[in-house]
Structure 1
Amino acid sequence: MTFGSVSFGTERAAGSGDSTDDWEARLGEQVRTLRLDAGLDQVSCASLADVGLSSLKNLENGRGTSLRTLVKVLRALNAVDWLETLAPSPTISPLDVLRRAPATPRRRVYRPRAES
């Protein structure tokens, strides 16, 4: 999946064994790419997002940050769609699918009874 020029790495299989540090580094690279595509330096982006410069640098360098900082920076970069890909709203309720499915009669396996 791609947003702007940022690839979300869907070419890797889910649960491919990447460590938390690897994921933080990849997310940081993607945020940096979004910021550069928007033509912002780190100081301007941090100010626009209302986060500290060190928080933005930590985020981009994959050194850990808060979810709040990530959300603020992505909102400042007009990347709310990016957030939606992380946690999409469910469009189909599994219970509704079951309720709408045609009722199928139960099938049973009969075994001959043992003679007494």
Structure 2
Amino acid sequence: MMGTPEHTTDEWEARVGEQFRAIRIQQGLDQEALADRASISRGAVQNLESGHGSSLVTIIKVARALGRTEWLDTLDDTGGEISPIEMLRQKRLEPKPRQRVRMGSAS
């Protein structure tokens, strides 16, 4: 069930909710059990499955609870590479090489 860019936000919400609902049912979980496993409210599961708005945190928690984190991995288009900003951060954290101070001879 692949979508096209022409889908509206509401259509995408409904499609994502249907996917989560189908997986939950396939795993033999009711909404309460999934909510407990994901550490969210049953209402949050209901909202997600019905396509009535969900936070990114809810989506991540439910994906993890259902063992579907590969969905989240597909959102990372860096191919596992570190971003240029992260490279700069790491460079700043690297210890700087020590330099010797030469003492001039007192003449």
Under a length normalisation based on structure 1, what TM-score does the superposition of the two structures give?
0.64
Which structure has more helix as a fraction of its residues? 2
Residue 64 of structure 2 corresponds to residue 78 of structure 1: no
Deviation at 1:48, TM superposition (A): 0.4
Residues 19-98 of structure 1 aligned to structure 2 (within 5 Å): 19-90=8-79
**Quick one: distance in 1 between partners of 2:78 and 2:29?**
30
Match for 2:55: what amino acid?
S
Number of residues of Structure 1 aligned to a counterpart in Structure 2: 83
**Which consecutive residues of structure 2, in runs of 5 or more, have no partner in the other structure?**
83-107
Match for 1:66: what amino acid?
S
**Quick one: distance in 1 between partners of 2:79 and 2:30?**
36
Counting aligned pairs with the same residue, the percent is 41
Q: Deviations over 1:29-67 (max 9, x none)?
A: 011111112111100000100001001100000000100
Aligned-CA RMSD value: 2.0
- Which residue matches 2:103? none
Deviation at 1:77, TM superposition (A): 0.6
CA separation of 1:45/1:92 partners in 2, compared to 1, >3 Å: closer, same or farther? closer
**Which consecutive residues of structure 1, in runs of 5 or more, have no partner in the other structure?**
1-6, 94-116
Secondary structure of 1:86's partner?
coil
Under a length normalisation based on structure 2, what TM-score does the superposition of the two structures give?
0.69
